[in-house]
């Protein structure tokens, strides 16, 4: 079942790159007591994700935070090393890069994309959500092209 507005974020773990290397971070650490914009991409370094989705949030992260958002986070079903390299290469130092390497959290959200036809395996659908103290208050899932989950669309909704 797909997560809906009003639902609590499921418990889960991500991996981020810390000063000492890969480190786990829980959904509680990310979402509890905070207003968070979480956006997900089908894959780091893929064309739309690298040319438009992540760059839009890099450009607008300060504007989004000025609307009362504590954290802007990007999630992908990639390993932590790929997410770290992609974030560094995209000047995304103000965005938390979350690796959902085994798609465990993506599956818990019900937002899985079957990328096997493209040789990509299980991935995340392209989406963006606003989560306020662990509760989803906005969920925009793109059916095809990058539209509803863009930084501009989320900024306008805030």
Write out the catalytic residue numbers.
Answer: 49
Look at residue 26 and give its three-state secondary structure: strand
Token pair, residue 103, equals 């798609």
Residue 113 DSSP class:
E
Pairing of strands 35-41, 71-76: parallel
Q: How far is CA 141 from the centre of its chain?
A: 12
Question: 142: how many CB neighbours lie within 10 A of its CB?
Answer: 18
DSSP of 15-46, one letter per residue? Answer: EEEETTEEEEEEHHHHHTTSEEEEEEES-TT-
């Amino acid at each position: 079942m797909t997560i809906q507005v009003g639902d609590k974020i499921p418990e889960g773990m991500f991996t981020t790159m810390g000063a000492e290397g890969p480190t786990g971070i829980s959904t509680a650490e990310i979402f509890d007591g905070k207003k968070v914009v979480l956006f997900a991409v089908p894959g780091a370094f893929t064309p739309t994700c690298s040319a438009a989705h992540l760059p839009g949030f890099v450009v607008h992260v300060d504007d989004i935070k000025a609307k009362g958002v504590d954290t802007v986070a990007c999630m992908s079903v990639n390993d932590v090393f790929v997410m770290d390299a992609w974030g560094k290469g995209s000047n995304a130092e103000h965005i938390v890069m979350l690796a959902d390497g085994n798609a465990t959290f993506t599956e818990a959200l019900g937002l899985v994309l079957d990328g096997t036809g493209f040789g990509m395996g299980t991935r995340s659908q392209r989406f963006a959500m606003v989560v306020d103290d662990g509760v989803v208050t906005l969920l925009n899932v793109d059916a095809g092209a990058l539209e509803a989950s863009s930084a501009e669309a989320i900024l306008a909704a805030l």
